[in-house]
Amino acid sequence: MGQSTTVATAFTAIMMIAGVTILITTAVSGFSIITQAIDSRVDATQTIVHERMTFTGWKLDDAQTLRLNVTNAGETSMTLREFDKFDMIVTYIEAGATRSEWLALNQEASSGDYWKIVRVFFNGAEGDQVNPMVLTTPVSGNWDHGETIELLVHIDAVSPTYSYVVYSTPNGVTASTDLTLSYQSGTTSIASGSVFVEVSHNLGRVPVNIQVTPRNEITGICFWVSDVDSDSFRINLSLSEAGAIGFYWRIE
């Protein structure tokens, strides 16, 4: 009887020691997992703090095609293999309705809705010196500090008017730009025998001020502007002229 009690006591002690060991191992393992999670969160936070982009210019190739210059103004280098995870959201006006659309990166596309990288610049010259970019599929290289990439954005819509762009990295760092011009100017002419000309513009809104100046002497009584909307306006003559009449114009 005494021997059985001793064996039972020893077995109980062994089980207690094993249990304590398991608890310690579990605690250490759990602490390690928490530490790794904290380290990962700190790394992600540091990346977000040092990651920054700025839009530095834009222009229209045509009504559907927009070119944007974006500069890596942060302290991080972004690999091109991650660019398919970037968000490109464009807002535009079509047939009087405002629409927003998310576009996918497609380096080989030439039609449809897409965006792609077409060129890279560093210190005002085309090309990059560190981690050179290869822009044909499969893309490679890095977008490094101080480098500017030229993006081409295309919307397969009928005469869209671009108004806003948001560009975001996989870490959620965002750059945005308003594409509404403060003013636009140009020249046009009314053909001989005609009494008006339609002038297209890219102001992205209805102009609040239009200035028109003839470049030639007008024999008729007057000229005026009419049919003003968000993408065009009309210059009119009271009488048709024997020759073409040129005009300077500026809208705000």
> How many Å is the maximal CA-CA distance in the chain?
133
pTM comes to: 0.60
In percent, the amount of the chain with pLDDT more than 90 equals 47
Distance CA 179, CA 59 (A): 9
Burial (CB < 10 A; 0-12, 13-18, 19+), residue 116, is buried
Listed in sequence order, the residues at least 6 apart from 102 whose beta carbon sits closer than 8 Å to its beta carbon are 87, 88, 89
Distance CA 26, CA 8 (A): 27
Mean pLDDT of 145-152: 95
Q: What pLDDT score was predicted for residue 183?
A: 82
Query: pLDDT by residue (tens digit) across 26-75?
Result: 555 555 555 554 554 545 555 556 799 999 888 888 889 999 999 999 99
User: Tokens 């920054």 label which residue?
Assistant: 52
